[in-house]
Each structure stands twice: as structure tokens, then as C-alpha cells.
């Protein structure tokens, strides 16, 4: 079960599952990524082959193993650990089980970063609207100032 869940996390970068399964699978995925990362750093070709075989014991999909060593591990190279994140979603309606998202951190697929991004975009749009409103107000004031002398000349 953990093998299949770990494979899915590495393939899709994000999986929704129960909280208990997410916490257990996180340990497996972190160990696998660490092994792949060390194999990429090590120049010994035999060590790289051995690492691939050890990872292939858990991950039963060749394309996922290839992606792990060629894409994921180099991307995580500068990280000291903490390659995954668990985000709690609440309870499932059917059986009230705690549900969570297990995702890879550097792939920015989580809800938290996108929520922060949305907030900053919202603040930027509010600021832009305020600036436009200010400019419109200033333009109205300028129009009124230019119209006042004309009105006085017509009265005289």
C-alpha cells in the first residue's frame, strides 16, 4: 500500500489520502528522495546503479524511477530535507476519516502558496483601483477648476 502511494506521489506530485496514510507515506517518500539525491551527487557509477535498484524495490514503475533520478532529485539537491508537505483537509463525509494532501514541496502544487499568491494579487488590484480612483478624482477637480472662470465670465 505504501509503495503504491509513494509511486503516486512521485508521479503526480500531489495525492489526496487519509491523514494516517499520508504521514506514513511521507517517511517512505523522503527516504527514497534522499537516496536518489545522494546517488546523483556521488560520481561512482556503481553507487548510482545500486541506488536505482534499491529505489526500484519500493517504486515499481520504471518511468517514475527515471523521473525521480532525472528531475525530482536534482530539483531537491539544495534542500536539506523536508521534501514533502501534508496539508489537512478535514473529515470525509462518508466515514469521517481525516483527509489530507501529501505533496512534494518544490513543485508549488500546494494550496498554501497559491492562497498567498492570490492574497498578494488581491492587494495589488486593490492598490491599483485606489490609484485609478485618485486619478479620476483629480481629473474631476481639474475640470471643475477650469469651468469656474468660464461661469464667472458668463455672469459678468
15 lies in the same domain as 62: yes
Q: For residue 28, how many other CB atoms are within 10 A of its CB?
A: 17
Q: From the CA atom positions of the chain, what is the Rg in Å?
A: 28
The model carries a pTM of 0.66
Give CA 3 to chain center in angstroms: 23
The parent domain of residue 82 ranges over 2-106
The interaxial angle of helices 45-58 and 19-41, nearest 10 deg, is 170
The set of cell numbers assigned to 61 is: 514503475
Under the banding of pLDDT at 50, 70 and 90, the label for residue 48 is: confident
Q: Assign 99 to helix, strand or coil.
A: strand
pLDDT surpasses 80 at 77: yes
62 shares its domain with 137: no
pLDDT tens-digit readout, 87-108: 999 999 999 999 999 999 988 6
133/122 Cα distance (integer angstroms) = 16
Q: How confident is the model at residue 5 (pLDDT cuts 50, 70, 90)?
A: very high
Please tell me the predicted confidence (pLDDT) of residue 93.
92
Ranked by mean pLDDT, which of 7-21, 99-113, 118-132 comes out on top? 7-21
Domains identified in the chain, total number = 2
> Do 17 and 74 have their domain in common?
yes
pLDDT given for residue 119 in this prediction: 60
Q: Is the same domain home to 137 and 66? A: no
Amino acid at each position: 500500500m505504501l509503495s503504491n502511494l509513494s509511486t503516486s506521489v512521485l508521479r503526480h506530485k500531489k495525492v489526496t489520502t487519509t491523514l494516517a496514510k499520508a504521514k506514513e507515506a511521507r517517511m517512505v517518500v523522503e527516504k527514497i528522495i534522499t537516496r536518489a539525491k545522494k546517488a546523483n551527487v556521488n560520481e561512482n557509477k556503481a553507487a548510482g546503479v545500486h541506488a536505482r535498484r534499491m529505489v526500484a524495490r519500493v517504486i515499481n514503475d520504471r518511468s517514475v524511477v527515471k523521473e525521480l533520478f532525472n528531475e525530482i532529485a536534482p530539483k531537491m539537491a539544495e534542500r536539506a530535507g523536508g521534501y514533502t508537505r501534508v496539508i489537512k483537509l478535514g473529515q470525509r463525509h462518508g466515514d469521517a476519516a481525516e483527509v489530507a494532501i501529501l505533496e512534494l514541496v518544490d513543485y508549488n502544487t500546494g494550496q498554501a502558496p497559491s492562497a498567498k499568491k492570490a492574497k498578494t494579487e488581491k492587494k495589488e488590484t486593490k492598490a491599483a483601483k485606489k490609484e485609478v480612483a485618485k486619478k479620476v478624482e483629480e481629473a474631476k477637480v481639474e475640470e471643475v477648476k477650469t469651468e469656474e472662470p468660464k461661469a464667472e465670465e458668463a455672469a459678468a
